[in-house]
Amino acid sequence: MQDYKKYLIRIIFFLALISIFIFYNYAKLETGFFHNAELNAVIIIVFIIGSFFSVRGILLLKRDAFLLNEIIANRTTSSSAKPNFILDIIDNLKIKNDVNKYFNWKKNIEEVAFKLESDREINKYLIAVLVFLGLLGTFWGLLSTINSVGDTISNLNVEEGDVLSTFMALKEGIKNPMSGMGTAFSSSLFGLSGSLCLGFIDLQLSRAQNDFLDNLNRKLKNINNDFDSDEPRSSSIYLEALIGQTIEGLNKMSELFEKNENSRKSLEDVFAKSVNVLSKINDEIDFRLNQSNQTAISNLEHIRNIDNSLLELKDQIKKNNSEFSEELSKEIKLLTKTIALIKK
């Protein structure tokens, strides 16, 4: 496994050198620090934050490297921590161990490199912040110096005969510009020194990330080379199984064609029988229609005879009614005459 302790040791050794330098120059640094204590305190806090993120990045790389080695060795780890940069790669390796599946390791390497570069963006930004704070203190101090020099010159009175009092006034007036120069140089010292020191620490993080990528690239390449060496044997087995399935499928297809041919012949026989039955039904329908027509014609003639008989009966009834009416009229007339004679 790649040893990342050496980068941590370098950072610790470098911070120890800085501490020794501060210890032997504490009085001077203290004087410079209090020329602009607020801004210099901010610079120191930013440096501490940047150092913390750099050390944290190296520790995360160490943990990810350990988890990667555990997965590659097909061992299960008791650690519940999740990887920070190689989560997708570990998931792909687990799938590969289960089903021997090939994955695009170059794409995974590019994704990890992008994540590592993104993780360093904080350090790059903090280095730029330290430079900015140093320059800000410099211009702040220079601006204060310029104002103080202007005030000192305007307050000098050369017309007075007392040169000693003029010199003392000049001496007092120079104190403020000197204080402004102290602010400028102290802020520049702390800001630029802090950015330089943080840059060295970030350099160790960058080298650790490069070693991590090289190690990851080498291991994933070896894994895929092993997969490629096993691929011809697995491919031949796969082809044999595929050919066997193809032959079995062709046999089933041949049997299906035979069944379809038999079904077609049976269907043709059924069609022929159906045609014969339909022909017989058609003949029977024609016969029934002819017979029905003859019966209908005879029925029409019978109905016509009935109609004629009814007409004759009607005429006869009318004739009988007229005869009966005439006889009844005669009888009534005769009866009337008889009644008239009886009255006389």
Alpha-carbon distance of 49 to 41, in angstroms, equals 12
Distance of CA 221 to the CA centre of its chain: 28
For the stretch 119-172, pLDDT in tens is 888 999 999 999 999 998 888 878 777 766 666 666 666 555 556 665 666 666
**304-308-309 Cα angle (round to 5):** 115
Confidence class of residue 341 from pLDDT cuts 50, 70 and 90?
A: low
What is the per-residue pLDDT for 199?
93
As a whole number of angstroms, the distance between CA 280 and CA 277 comes to: 5
d(CA 154, CA 151): 5
> Cα torsion at 304, 307, 311, 312 (round to 10°)?
70
Per the CB < 8 A criterion, the answer to whether 144 and 202 are in contact is: no
Position 36 pLDDT exceeds 80: yes
Residue that wins the pLDDT comparison between 18 and 31? 18
**42, 129 contact by CB (below 8 A):** no
User: Which pLDDT score, from 0 to 100, does residue 139 have?
Assistant: 85
Per-residue pLDDT, 77 = 45
pLDDT of residue 167: 61
**Could you identify the residue written with the tokens 């089933």?**
252
41-68 residue pLDDT tens: 999 999 999 999 999 999 988 888 888 7
Each residue's pLDDT tens digit, 243-252: 767 677 667 7
Predicted pLDDT at 100: 43
Side chain identity at residue 220, one-letter code: L
Mean pLDDT of 97-106: 50
How many helices and strands, by DSSP H and E, does the chain display? 7, 0
Whether the pLDDT of residue 101 is over 50: the answer is no
Tokens 């029409």 belong to which residue? 300
- Written as six digits, the tokens of 295 are 């019966």
250-280 tens-digit pLDDT: 677 667 767 767 776 776 676 677 667 667 7
105 to 10, 87, 226, 258: CA distances (angstroms): 32, 13, 13, 51
Whether 283 has a pLDDT exceeding 60, the answer reads yes
Average pLDDT over residues 104-131: 84
Mean pLDDT in residue range 194-200:
93
Cα separation, 90 vs 82, in Å, equals: 10
- Closest C-alpha among 33, 26, 39, 36 to residue 183: 36
Six token digits for residue 97: 């161990």
